[in-house]
Amino acid sequence: MTNKKANIIAFDLDGTLLNDKKQVGLKDYNTLIDLEKKGALRIAATGRNLFSLNRILPPDFPMDYAVFSSGAGIYDWKSKKIINSIHITIDDIKKVLKVIAPYQLNFTIHLPIPENHHMLIYDQHANSTDLKNYTNFYKPYASPIDLNNLPYAATQLIVLLNSHANLFDAFSKKLIGLKTILTTSPVDNTSLWMEVFNKNVSKANGVKWLIKYLSINKPKIFAIGNDYNDLDLLNYSHFSHIVSNAPASIQKEFYVSVSNNEEALTESISHYDIVSANN
């Protein structure tokens, strides 16, 4: 036993709980079952939209809630109901497009939750391979964008930075009032994306919202992730681990666990006492 007690377990999926085959290891699966027996709250905090989440995990997967689309939506996994969602307006969309226009970058606009697997695509510039590979997963739901007929609202925009990480900081300074998140492409695991959301969207804010919604008085949050879009949650949590396959630039900030292919959730929470979130 340790004096480090955790009652909320938040975990990223791709590159963290999911191995390179997009599967959950048996040890981690059994760990999630054991967490429920101990009364802990299990939260998947993922960049995946709800459509994608339901394609990768079975309906009876052992968790309680999903903070999906990086926090734009919150889903009660057991009742199968969306309990919160946040969007950006058409004026926000126009603001983003004006900022990125001089740089000839490809992007997508995702419709409001729960239809945010439907996307409008702009792939007119060079270096669009990663975007096309990404949208291949959503062929029935992807359409070319009409810049003269933008949607009234959106869940997010994804802008492909073509490995120009410096553009992220430049864009973020201009997009005041919006939330920008740097993330590594889940398709080629190399390309850098900028995701743009409502200013209140983040994985951390999603977990905060759930804590208030569930009236948890003494939250002790354990979080594990693997990428830049996990940083807000890792910095917010009481106990934060990152897998060894995470970018080297962020490994120095947190306890480094084993890789996503070695069932990192089980290894990481073995350092803590798991207690009930209802205490």
Reported as a single tens digit per residue, the pLDDT across 144-160 is 999 999 999 999 999 99
Collapsed DSSP state (helix, strand, coil) of residue 209: helix
Per residue in 234-270, pLDDT (tens digit) is 999 999 999 999 999 899 889 999 999 999 999 999 9
- Position 26 scores a pLDDT of 98
Collapsed DSSP state (helix, strand, coil) of residue 44: strand
Here the tokens at position 245 are 């396959």
List the one residue out of 92, 89, 86 whose CA is nearest residue 175: 92
Per residue in 34-58, pLDDT (tens digit) is 999 999 999 999 999 999 999 999 9
Same domain, 96 and 179: yes
- Position 126 scores a pLDDT of 80
Q: What is this structure's pTM?
A: 0.92
pLDDT at position 59 over 50: yes
- Position 163 scores a pLDDT of 73
Which residue segment(s) compose the domain that 75 sits in?
A: 5-85+202-274
Same domain, 68 and 206: yes
- Position 215 scores a pLDDT of 97
Same domain, 81 and 92: no
Q: Which amino acid is at 81?
A: K
Same domain, 178 and 108: yes
pLDDT band at 1 (very low <50, low <70, confident <90, very high): very low
Domain count, the chain: 2
Q: In which order are the strands placed within the sheet that holds 41-45?
A: 81-85, 73-76, 65-68, 41-45, 8-11, 221-225, 239-242, 255-256
